[in-house]
Structure 1
């Protein structure tokens, strides 16, 4: 974690985004070779480093490797602030990331879609 940050345990369903998922990366990498990709039409942020990804193959490669690497939502929020993002919509499972964004990005509207009923508000 970045120096000076506060760390707290999260209750999660599995060891996702950790080195314990490393055996899955090779398998997913092989499977991903059969997938046809397209470049994103809108800015897409990598949750590995917060960078905007423009190339479809790079998006897929990053998704595969993200399985065994930590989510860097802090870096994504920095990029969103730099890009002037005014609203964040989190899709299921939802709530954790928009909760963090409310504190880190004051003035940015957030909505966590948790159920189909929440779609009308989106």
Structure 2
């Protein structure tokens, strides 16, 4: 039975999610490490206990969301490894790609946290723009409108029935108004993520990546920018360089998993967003969600 581990990104976080992993070995140490790196109490933020101050204390602030999800998801990965469990391949949605790379042994937890902290700060600083989820549409009409409208791209190609647009507020609204679809849902974000508007942030992140050593992956990784199986460290880093300015090709990622013979999809982290997408796009797939120690039989 071929198993894939997948890692959700921003939008899966929820207050209290840390409590489910605190009994796992190394949990307190990893939260403490993240808190020292960030300069604020990440565990308290995950619990909704952080008070007011100059530092961002809302879990939904991307500067907290990204490292918090990395800590939670990486702790579950560590326990899976301790139990001797191994996937056939891994993939992550947006920030989840960094957890997938950690799960594949491309870098250690310290490096992953450092990357997540840098990535989140750069994205938070790249203000301006808008994003909107589009549900139930005709693909050809959507592509035609996006191609004809300056300042908007498909940031997340999540499934045949769900995408996320990113760009200037006017351009995103124009496509949403002209498109025949079930719903257009504006997203509460601070910038036009996964679009060319992230170029400055992506350039700075790339400089940071250049100074880090990646190892070849233990299992194939499907990247957001190129959802073909890859284990080569140089290529995986090259793909990550482009991730912040290109769309998340999750629809193609699910197709690639099907072509690779994946029979079981294990979503590692809070929520079941990726499982929901797979349920509709991958007929016959077996789904499992691992959000904490209870789900791991502990």
Bin of the TM-score, shorter chain as denominator length: 0.7 to 0.9
The structure whose residues are more often strand, as a share, is 2
1:85-119 deviation line (CA, Å, top 9, x unaligned): 01112233542222111111121112233x42454
Unpaired segments ≥5 residues, structure 2 = 1-137, 142-159, 163-183
Aligned to 1:65: 242
CA distance in 1, matches of 2:220, 2:227: 11
Alignment of 1:47-86 (within 5 A): 47-86=224-263
Give the counterpart of 1:27 among 172, 181, 204.
Answer: 204
Scaled by the length of structure 2, what TM-score is found? 0.36
Contact map agreement 1:44 1:54 (CA 8 A) in 2: yes
Distance in 1 between residues matched to 2:188 and 2:254, nearest whole Å: 21
Gap change, CA 1:10 and 1:51, over 3 Å in 2: farther
Q: Which has the larger radius of gyration?
A: 2
Contact 2:268 2:289 in 1 (8 A): yes
Please state if 1:36 is matched with 2:213: yes
Q: Which consecutive segments of 4 or more residues in structure 1 shift more than 6 A?
A: none
Q: What SS does the aligned partner of 1:24 have?
A: helix
> 1:13, CA displacement in angstroms?
4.1
Instruction: Report the alpha carbon displacement of residue 38 of structure 1 after superposing the two structures with TM.
Output: 1.0
User: 1-side partners of 2:240 and 2:276: how far apart?
Assistant: 23
Q: State the alpha-carbon separation in 1 of the partners of residues 256 and 230 from structure 2.
A: 12
Q: Would you say the 8 A contact 2:193–2:244 is kept in 1?
A: yes
Contact persistence 2:217–2:232 (CA under 8 A): yes
Q: Bigger shift: 80-89 or 58-67?
A: 58-67
Gaps of 5+ in 1: none
CA RMSD of superposed structures (Å)? 2.6
**Match in the other structure for 1:6:** 161
Partner of 1:107: 284
Equivalent residues, number: 120
Deviates more, 1:11-20 or 1:51-60: 11-20
TM-score (norm 1): 0.80
User: For residues 19 and 119 of structure 1, do their structure 2 counterparts lie closer, same or farther at Cα, with a shift above 3 Å needed?
Assistant: farther
With over 3 angstroms needed to count, the CA separation of the structure-2 counterparts of 1:60 and 1:10, relative to structure 1, is farther
